């Protein structure tokens, strides 16, 4: 016998197996049952928790719109109509997004955000919007925030109907 090995005795005179072998098999079977149970429990928890963890709410999207409106209020806009037409027009478009969102018309809200983004792109092309991040919000930030709002609105649409907007 080698050092560290234990002597194995038959469990019964009739059996050729040892008590240690039978005991090890019982322990292994018990451990396998526990591991299987834990795996099934973990899988069930993930199925339940995953949709909850990723859920977007209307109030979260409203908050995103409010933050974007704050950027529109502070972004530097150049031109004669900056304060009489351009800024009020952008803010009005975002008010329309918020209204259709409150009405549960998520796809209409997405259309309105895209209209807002088109106007921002037009203003960027015309060099009317700040593009220097050291001077405050930029036109690109407004576009990126719009993209985030569209993604959140699509998620609300999927939660509501099971399919995203086109």
Domains of the chain: which residue ranges?
10-54, 58-161
The fold adopted by the segment(s) 58-161 is de novo design (two linked rop proteins) (1.20.1440)
DSSP string, the chain: --TT-----BSSTT-SSBHHHHHHHHHHHHHHHHHHHHHHHHHHHHHHHHHHHT---HHHHHHHHHHHHHHHHHS-B-STTIIIIIHHHHHHHHHHHHHHHHTT-HHHHHHHHHHHHHHHHHHHHTT-B---GGGS--HHHHHHHHHHHHHHHHHHHHHHHSS---
Residue 74 and residue 56: Cα distance in Å, rounded? 27
pLDDT (tens place) for every residue of the chain, 166 residues total? 556 555 555 555 555 555 555 567 778 888 788 887 777 766 655 555 444 445 689 999 999 999 999 999 999 999 999 999 999 999 999 999 999 999 999 999 999 999 999 999 999 999 999 999 999 999 999 999 999 999 999 999 999 999 999 8
Chain center to CA of 34: 33
Q: Looking at residue 53, what is its pLDDT?
A: 41
């Amino acid at each position: 016998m080698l050092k560290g090995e234990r002597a194995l005795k038959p469990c019964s005179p009739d059996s050729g197996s040892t008590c240690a072998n039978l005991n090890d098999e019982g322990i292994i079977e018990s451990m396998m049952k526990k591991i299987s149970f834990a795996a099934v429990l973990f899988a069930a928890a993930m199925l339940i928790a995953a949709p909850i963890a990723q859920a977007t709410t209307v109030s979260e999207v409203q908050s995103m719109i409010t933050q974007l409106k704050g950027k529109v209020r502070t972004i530097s806009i150049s031109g004669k109509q900056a304060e009489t037409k351009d800024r009020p027009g952008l803010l009005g478009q975002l008010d329309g997004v918020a209204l259709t969102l409150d009405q549960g018309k998520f796809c209409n809200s997405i259309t309105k955000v895209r209209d807002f983004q088109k106007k921002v792109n037009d203003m960027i092309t015309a060099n009317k919007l700040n593009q220097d991040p050291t001077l405050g919000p930029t036109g690109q930030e407004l576009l990126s925030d719009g993209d985030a709002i569209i993604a959140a609105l699509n998620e609300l649409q999927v939660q509501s109907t099971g399919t995203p907007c086109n």
